[in-house]
Chains A and B, each alone.
Chain A
Amino acid sequence: MAQVSMIPEPCRILEVHRETAKEVHFVLEAPKQAPFQPEPGQFVMVSLPGIGEAPISLAGLPGEGTAENAIELLVRKAGRLTTLVTRLAVGDTLYVRGPYGRRVGWEQFEGSNLLLIAGGLGLAPLRPFVRRALLRRDQFRHIDILAGARSPEELLFRDELLAWKARRDDVRVLVTVDAASDGWGGRIGVITTLFDNVHPDTEDAVAVICGPPVMYRHAIRKLLAMGFYENRVWLTLERRMKCGIGLCGNCQMSGLYLCQQGPLFSYREVRHLKEAV
């Protein structure tokens, strides 16, 4: 009944990839009732009737590395709903409404250098940025992707990271893990240790960060020291959400509703807020 209905649409699951012990990657039909044209950084509300509903970032947008009329989601087993969702198989149905969140406008991310920084699960919401940037490669000079995970076992989208890495001239991909296990030949250390390898031209550069709360303060400080402008460092923030449409109040951060004014913010917009991360 709300002007924006809270009734979800059934969306059939087309592919299931078990990424890690805790995370499952789904390709599913996009909602059809209204034109579904999400932007990078937006999210959907995902539910199973009788179980509940939760906000999930879009990890793949229709027609941008994902099939037309399909979307991708990465779901981490955390509560009852997500645990049951991770047990679903191809042909099962998820209930989806959206897309929700601010439409920042792609022109905000254009520039000579694009730096994408993903910690852990943060790679999922950043994936649409990477894919769109690679589709529109001529808009950028350098593209750097920094991805960190706690351990090699928790690294997401490994094949895709390798595929991006293989496009040597197009994009630089650097991966690090906090703690290595046997057989890991890559870098070890927190994600900020990768920053020294980034293209140093920050005059016309944009950074987008998504990761666990603890990552933000360090990453931002380092980016500003490198010369990034405050309004060209973008963060995706996280909050509890129950409606996605600015009503339930759960996601309010100071005067802002994350579901509407966010979850993507420039650092300039939120730097003065105490409870941002």
Chain B
Amino acid sequence: MEHEIYRFPRGRLDALVERLGREFRVVAPVKKADQHVWEEVRPGAPIALDYPTTMLPPRQFFAPQREVLFRFTGSDGLYRFEEPPVERPLALLGVHGCDLTGLRVMRSFHESSCRDRVVTDRLDQSFVVGLACWVPCLAEAFCRDMGSLENEIPADLYLWDLGETLLVKVLKPRGRAVLADVSALEAATADELVLLRRRVRARHEAFPTHLKFPPAKLPVALEAAEADILWDANADRCLSCGRCNLVCPTCTCFDVQDIATLDGSSGSRVRSWHGCQLPGFSKVAGGHDFRPTRTQQLRYRIFRKGKYMPERYGMVGCTGCGRCHKHCPTHISIRDIFRQVGGPA
């Protein structure tokens, strides 16, 4: 089925924010100092549709860095528990293909074995406006190799910024409903569709390929390279800082801690982001560490993304966004590792 593609007057962006704001907490990329960040916006906010990849992916809104699981109040060792109220659902405006893929991976993870309803509800209820990329926003990215560049799922609406005009594709009925509230649903002209096709084709020159094999081959390629010296070579540079975990759109691991008042009469059990590259992640009571070396830890991270996640959840856990490479203080590159395990072309 041909998707409906409409013109979207740039001036109606504020109306879209206003419309979404009636139902949702709207977040969009905004420039802050020398960076772009995802931030809650209101009509009139300077939304930067030309933003390069943010340091933190949108997962921060679905599985926040710190989140109260429940609060407790009590005394003499007897407590009552209360779960936090459900917040307003989210609308994300201007999500690049890599981060759309990140949301898909997140869903595939949370739909497996044990459903984390807090997170799946947020994903289900969120309204997502995707945004096409024309040029790689990070030198470290390899989104085209990982199938993220063209990915439009799970967007409700998908935007192409053609300079003069914005075109918008309707992917879900509720996307059309929202769009109809803020614009006249004027179909894109034949000239505009030709221009769109040309721009989409030309995009392939801007996004070179880095891998000589499809991501589906990663599990087998990694398994074959398990004993390779490349793990040591990369681990030698690793500082165990965990930045790669924090900026990853598909990392989900968390720690749980209790935060209480001095007298212990009230407090909350809080989960916060954890990372497999941080020291102590795999240490048990008594001090035994099941994955004590950096080589093991680094290989585990890459295997989780490229082998364990596809085998368990059906989707490769790397979106090709390039964040872990860009923000690594010693520039450990998951793209280079994937390229190496793939063997010579």
Contact = CB atoms under 8 A, between A and B. Distances in A.
A172 interface: no
Interface in B274-290: 274, 276, 281-286, 288, 290
A250 B281 contact: yes
Interface in A25-69: 47-54
Contacts of A274: 226, 296
Nearest to A213: B288
Interface of A: 1-4, 6-8, 10, 47-54, 76, 78-79, 82, 92-93, 95, 212-213, 238-240, 242-243, 245-250, 252-255, 257, 260, 274-275, 277
B274 A49 contact: no
Interface string B226-269: 10000000000000000000000000111111101000100101
Contacts of B72: 49-50
Contacts of B86: 1
18 contacts: A1-B69, A3-B115, A3-B117, A8-B81, A47-B269, A52-B258, A76-B285, A78-B285, A82-B285, A93-B78, A242-B254, A242-B271, A247-B252, A249-B276, A250-B281, A252-B276, A253-B290, A275-B290
B283 A248 contact: no
B227 to A, nearest CB: 10
Nearest to B121: A1
Interface in B70-84: 70, 72, 74, 77-79, 81, 83-84
B311 interface: yes
Contacts of A277: 290
Given A49-B79, A242-B256, A246-B113, A255 B312 contact: yes
Contacts of B121: 1
B278 to A, nearest CB: 11
Interface string B85-102: 010000000000000000
Given A51-B260, A53-B256, 7 more contacts: A10-B78, A50-B260, A76-B285, A76-B286, A246-B114, A247-B252, A248-B253
Contacts of B83: 1, 7
Contacts, number: 128
A-B residue pairs, 10 tightest by C-beta: A249-B253, A50-B260, A78-B285, A255-B308, A246-B114, A49-B72, A50-B264, A245-B114, A242-B256, A1-B118
A142 B151 CA distance: 61
A245 B110 CA distance: 11
B13 to A, nearest CB: 34
B50 interface: no
A6 B274 CA distance: 18
Interface of B: 69-70, 72, 74, 77-79, 81, 83-84, 86, 112-118, 121, 226, 252-258, 260, 264, 267, 269, 271, 274, 276, 281-286, 288, 290-291, 296, 300, 303-304, 307-308, 311-312
A2 B258 contact: no
A52 B282 CA distance: 18
Contact of A260 (B114, B290, B303): B114
A6 B70 contact: yes
Given A3-B117, A49-B260, A249-B276, A242 B255 contact: yes
A260 B113 CA distance: 8
B77 A252 contact: no
B321 to A, nearest CB: 20
Contacts of A247: 114, 116, 252, 254
Among the interface residues B113, B256, B307, B311, which one has the most CB atoms of the partner chain A within 10 A?
A: B256
A103 to B, nearest CB: 14
Contacts of B79: 10, 49, 95
A17 to B, nearest CB: 20
A68 B69 CA distance: 31
Nearest to A94: B77
B147 to A, nearest CB: 22
B253 A250 contact: yes
Given A240-B283, A246-B114, A255-B307, A275 B291 contact: yes
B23 to A, nearest CB: 21
A244 B284 CA distance: 14
A252 B308 contact: yes
Contacts of B267: 49-50
